[in-house]
A = this chain, B = another copy of it.
């Protein structure tokens, strides 16, 4: 790379001190108009840009927010990033994005690298593997060091920090209730294994809606999809039962279930209804398009970054972790019958 022009260069070239140059560029009254003009002209001519590292070191802040996500090729997470970036950008921050690839080890690594002063704060959604192992010491260390941290979507109570989540229980409840209201009473639930707690919460909503209606939960109608194995085959099994609707905790499961239903000859939505989670492109463009719980990823990202920046900029008085719950809503499409 070409030799960068620094304050020192300008000072030497113009026969003044570095302090004078610095003050001149910041328009200090201490410097005479003549000198200021000369220095500014020189700086402009050679396209001088202050070295941000030097500034960051001196000011002890980077105006950078670290973001660690389990995945990126994923509609919900990329929407959240967009929200984070928008919110950050408005406040003059930039984002550094890393991925854990759902791996515990990579998450620990990323956290270590980002917590050595390169960012002012962190926004994280926990990796699946970490949720399984339940080892959260790397997060607790961070909290101990008092590095501002916001968790979103996949969170755990053990870690004392700000959190942003969707109302998963409520969402599961809403979806299930909608299906019940349109007279689908034999509703299968396609969810994740227990350790991914968003799945568990959505399931609670499902169960609550059923029991309100006086229907007992039939475990045979609940499939916990193990992602390492063939997803379609696992979902197909639930069709051995007598069912007339499916509530799936994500888009892929919903689309897969609908496909199977169509293959089995069901007419969607007349004979069979489907509701998914996450309002992504699959739901929008499959045919029929799929009714989903909209997760408001953009909103989540914005909220997360807002809380984080507040935490960064306000000298922490008494630290009271916040939990922001974003309510989700049903986006009606063609895979369900109109509400009665």
Judge whether A52 and B96 touch: CB under 8 Å: no
- Say which one of A33-41, A142-150, A320-328 lies at the interface with B: A142-150
Chain B nearest Cβ from A321, distance in angstroms: 16
Judge whether B95 and A285 touch: CB under 8 Å: no
A45–B285 Cα gap in the complex (Å)? Answer: 55
Closest B residue to A113 by beta carbon equals B94
Judge whether B116 and A49 touch: CB under 8 Å: yes
> Which residues of chain A in 121-160 are interfacial with respect to chain B, using CB atoms and an 8 Å cutoff?
141, 145-148
Among A52, A57, A146, which residue has the most Cβ atoms of chain B within 10 A?
Answer: A52
Q: How many residues of A contact B (CB 8 A)?
A: 53
A31–B262 Cα gap in the complex (Å)? Answer: 74
Chain B nearest Cβ from A123, distance in angstroms: 13
> What residues of chain B lie closer than 8 Å to A145, measured between beta carbons?
1-2, 4, 47
Judge whether B285 and A255 touch: CB under 8 Å: yes
Beta-carbon contacts of A43-84 to B below 8 Å, as 1s and 0s?
A: 000010111111011000010100000001111001101100
The answer, yes or no, to whether A330 is at the interface (CB within 8 Å) is no
Chain B nearest Cβ from A313, distance in angstroms: 11
Judge whether B117 and A51 touch: CB under 8 Å: yes
Judge whether B53 and A62 touch: CB under 8 Å: yes
Chain B nearest Cβ from A22, distance in angstroms: 15
Beta-carbon contacts of A86-113 to B below 8 Å, as 1s and 0s?
A: 0000000011111100000000000011
The answer, yes or no, to whether A115 is at the interface (CB within 8 Å) is yes
Closest B residue to A5 by beta carbon equals B145
The answer, yes or no, to whether A211 is at the interface (CB within 8 Å) is no
Chain B nearest Cβ from A152, distance in angstroms: 16
- Top 5 closest pairs, chain A to chain B, by CB: A2-B146, A49-B116, A255-B285, A51-B117, A97-B97
